[in-house]
Every structure is written in structure tokens, then in C-alpha cells.
A and B are shown apart, each in its own frame.
Chain A
Amino acid sequence: MTTPATTERTTARAASHQRPQYWNAPRMSWYESFYLFEVLRGLYITGAVFTRNMWKWCTGRKGALTAYYPEEIRADYAAHNRGKHVLTQREDGSPQCVACNLCATVCPAKVIEIEAALDPHDPIHPKYPASFAIDYSRCIFCGLCVEACPEDAIRMVKEVPALPGEDRDTMWLAREELLTWSPRRDVEKPYPPRGSSRQQDAA
């Protein structure tokens, strides 16, 4: 006497002797399953890519989508890419930064080190960073420092820091390197921003 459950089990066992049927088994025509023609098609595709790229290389162009890093700077970074940091400058070239340490405080990777100093000749901004250094071996490029800054003194530009090295001690950028970007010469990102009260003051 067989219960329905055992019948089910025996039929399952009987079926397991056969080749399993998959719902997504490929359905190929004889042309595809003959293999040779499809192989030739594949070879045509890869060979065409090879020939195209090789022709580019031979005629002095670049036949690859990848870049020589770090010799080559990618041209296709987005305008809002968070690459490396820059410190904005005042008109006299001194940093906009007032050494308030907000960026260093908010930094989740704790990569910013600021040493504040007193400038008695500038009564409006008496505090300034004597040294401002970022450790790019630990920076996670989150951009929180830019968000935190009350003075718009730190920004991020799309270019990445050219810092591949064999020693993490060499991966620091100091104040002088961060001050390379001058907003006066940048028409895309002017400082003070267009239409702001500061700009009216300046005018």
C-alpha cells in the first residue's frame, strides 16, 4: 500500500535518474548548437575590436578606454567630482581659512591637521592657519570638510591628487600645495560667489 507521499518520493527518485530539466535551458537552433559558426561570430567580434584598437594605436591615437595612471589625467572627471582639496584665497593671496578647526572636527577619517597662529596686522581675521595639512593616505573624499567650513575656505576640485607613492609619509599635502588654486582666475567658480553680498561689497 502506498500513500500519496511515498508515490511522490518514488517518482521524484525515478525522475532523478533522468537528465534534469531546467526552466532556463538554452534553446538553440542547429545553427547555434553547431558551435563553429558561433565561434566564428565571436572571433569576428573580438578580432574587429582588436583591429580597431590596433589601428588607433598604429595611427598615433589611444586605442584603450583605460588611462595611464598617474601619468595621464583623465579628461572625463565630472565637474562635481570630489577630487582634491584647495584652500581659497583672499585678494592678497592669504588663505580664507580662520583656523576654526571645524573641518578637522567633522572629518571622519581625522586627516586634517591645522595649527593656528595670530596675525596682529589683520584685526578682522586675526587667526590664521600657520600650517594646514591633509593626509591623503587616509582621506575618504567624503567632502564633509567643505560642508562644515563657515568661511568657504576649503573646497574640492575635480582633479585627483597626484599622489601615488611607496611611502605613506609622502602622501601629505601642506598649506602651500593646497593654496595653488586662485579663485580670481577661475571663471567657473568665482570667489566671492556671483550675486553674493560680499561681491557687492567688493564692487
Chain B
Amino acid sequence: MIQDLVICLLFIAYALAVLPGLGTVLTWVERKQAAIMADRIGANRCYVRLPFTDYKMVWMGLFHGLADGLKMIVKEDWKPKVHDDFAYMIAPWVTFAPVLLVFAVIPFGGTFTPGEMLSAFPSIAQWFGDKSYPLQIAPLNAGLLIVFAFSGITVIGAMLAGWSSSNKFSLLGGLRAGSQMISYELVMGLTVLGLILVYGSVDLVEIVHKQSGTVLGFLPAWGVVYQPFAAILFLTAAMAENRRIPFDLPEAESELICGYFTEYSAMKMGLFMFAEFIEIAIVSALFVTLFLGGYNLPFMTDTGFKLPSGRVIEMSAGGILLLQMLVFLAKVFLLCSFQILIRWTLPRFRYDQLLRFAWRFLFPLAMVNLTVTAAVAWVLQ
């Protein structure tokens, strides 16, 4: 029992290190990638000077994110006169916390068997016995439902912020956030339903395991192969959930100043921004888990590689676990970069276009996708 707790705390520490770390790095990636896409150099002035020397570590502007964080922490936390202090105070946290919680059910590696992998330390290995843990903070069989439950909470934070700020722009931003997220949540749910039909499970570990085989003998059995339309629809809807350009209507600068967090300053505003960046990582992690084979490379299982030619490459359990964790991080990072590419390529929708896009375009497509998937699944049964 105590062993489970230790492992769980270890996983939580990993998640708390990786997610905010990735969020901070993504601010740098966003700046640099946008600059390189636009033939610019990008942020490159911030540095950390080594103490007692004149050596300035610039590191291609990597410290700009730290400077942002420091600035937001030491800035004056100005608070307007609002009619509901409690809602105003709690709104950034209601947005921020569920974003982290979603990661609880996402598997970020294969199975961890301490008794086998830590055989170099006999006392620890013995203490764990023959227990095995999937690399997932909360091994729940309702995984996908938990994801939707938590990601649905973030909109409450946005609406609370918009409502409690006593500001017209904030209120409009909150309303927009509410309508937009409800519309796109629906599309997201429908696309994922097709996936659940294919895999027959909502447990994310189970879904990743199902993706480690092959289709037609050579294609990896990834969700994106089974459900290509669902993958596109899901990514679109997930980016809309994320409220970034081209879907950043709730905080459209040219119309609403800063939308629902207009009246927030210092670290409260920083929490909204940080939640946004972590949500990029979360969306990527979800997409990777559902459509891109999770932590596995093509033809990879928990024991090694099983190539379509029939060759089997065995690997040690510890080695494959490490590889899986790295693969997961690499996939998530690449997908984050792709989302940033989209963000710096497409122009913002108009508000009516945004909702029309959800209800008249994505929603019917998701329905068609689901119907076809259901029909095919029924025929094959």
C-alpha cells in the first residue's frame, strides 16, 4: 500500500515538473518559432549573468520565459472594485487547476515494474515485490470521461472571471468563452465517440495498447489511421477549446482588450496565460494518446519492436520504458510545435463564423464520421 503511494507521488512529481516546465519552454518556442517563420531573429536579449563573472548566458533567449514569470510575480497585484471578490479571486485557479488534472489519466509511458527494473538495488526491489504500475497517475478505467469532465471545468473559470470582473469587455469575453467552449466540446465528444467504438474502451492505457498492432500488415494501428477525419476534427475542436488564434474570440485583443481576463493583473493574469500554454501541451498529449499511438513508436510493444516483416527486436524492460517516456515527450513536443505553427498561420475567425463553423461544419462532419464508424463497426461485428 505504501509502495503505491510512493509511486503515485513520484508520478505526480513528474507531472508537476513536466507540465509547467513544458509550459515555460513553450513560451520560448512560441516566440522563436514565430520569429523564424517570419524571417526574424526573435527574442534574444534576456540573459543570466554568471555570478562574479562577466559571462552572460543568453542561450538563444531561453530566459525570456523566466523573466516573464519573475515580472508577473513581483508586479503589483492590482484589483478592481468588483462585486464578487471570491469569484474574482478563485477564477484563475478554476481555469488553471483542471488543466493540470487532465494529465492525471494520460499514460506517459509503459508499465513500470520496480521489482524487475530496480534489481540493481535489491532492498528496494524486494520492498516492491512483484507489483507493476502503468505510468499514469490515476489508473482509472473511465479515463476519457475524466478528461472531458475536467476540461469542461476550465470554461467555468473563464466565465467566472468574465462575470466577476465588473467589466463589459470581460463579460462579453466570458460569454463568448462559454458559447464557444460548449459548441466545440460537443464536436470533441462526438469525434472521440467514434474512437471509443473502434477501441471498445475509454481506458487510455487500453487505448494505447490497442494502437500498438498493425493494420493491413504494414500500417501502425494508430487512431489516425482508423479515424483520419476524427483526428482532424478533434485537433480543430481541441484548439478551439484552447482559445488560441484562430479561435481566440473570448480574448480577441482588437475587440475585447483581453476578454475575460482584462481586469486581472500580475500573477493572476499569468495563471491564465500559463494555463493556456499548459493546455497546448495537454491537447498534444491527448491527441498523441488517442490518435498517434501514445508513448509507442510504430510496431512497438511493451517488450520490444515487432516489425511488419515479422522480425522481433527484444529490448530490456527498463530500456523500453525509458524509450517510451522519451517518445511520448518528443511526440507531445512536436505536436505543440505544430499547434504553434497553426496559431501563427491562420487568421482569426469572426465571431459568427466561429459558431457557424462549429455547428454547421464540424458538428455535421462529426456526426457523419460517427455514423459511418458505427455502421462499419456493426457490419464487421
Contact = CB atoms under 8 A, between A and B. Distances in A.
A70 B345 CA distance: 30
Q: Please classify how large the interface on chain A is, using the bins under 10, 10 to 19, 20 to 34, 35 or more.
A: 10 to 19
Given A36-B232, A68-B44, A53 B344 contact: no
Interface residues of B, number: 17
Contacts of B346: 39, 42
Interface in B119-160: none
Contact of A66 (B33, B40, B232, B344): B40
B345 A46 contact: yes
Contact of B39 (A35, A43, A53, A68): A53
Contacts, number: 42
Contacts of B357: 35
Contact of A46 (B232, B341, B361): B341
B282 to A, nearest CB: 22
A54 interface: yes
A78 interface: no
Given A36-B232, A39-B346, A42-B345, A49 B40 contact: no
Interface in B279-338: none
Contacts of A54: 36
B41 A50 contact: no
A63 B35 CA distance: 10
A43 B341 contact: yes
Contact of B36 (A42, A45, A64, A68): A64
Contacts of B361: 35
B37 interface: yes
A57 interface: yes
A45 B344 CA distance: 12
Contacts of A65: 39-40
B232 A50 contact: no
A47 interface: yes
Contacts of B342: 43
B127 to A, nearest CB: 47
Interface of A: 35-36, 39, 42-43, 45-47, 49-50, 53-54, 57, 63-66, 68
Interface of B: 33, 35-41, 44, 232, 341-342, 344-346, 357, 361
A-B pairs, top 8 by smallest CB distance, nearest first, are A46-B345, A65-B39, A50-B37, A64-B41, A53-B36, A42-B345, A46-B37, A66-B40
15 contacts: A35-B361, A39-B345, A42-B346, A46-B344, A50-B36, A50-B37, A53-B36, A53-B37, A53-B39, A57-B36, A63-B36, A64-B36, A65-B40, A66-B40, A66-B41
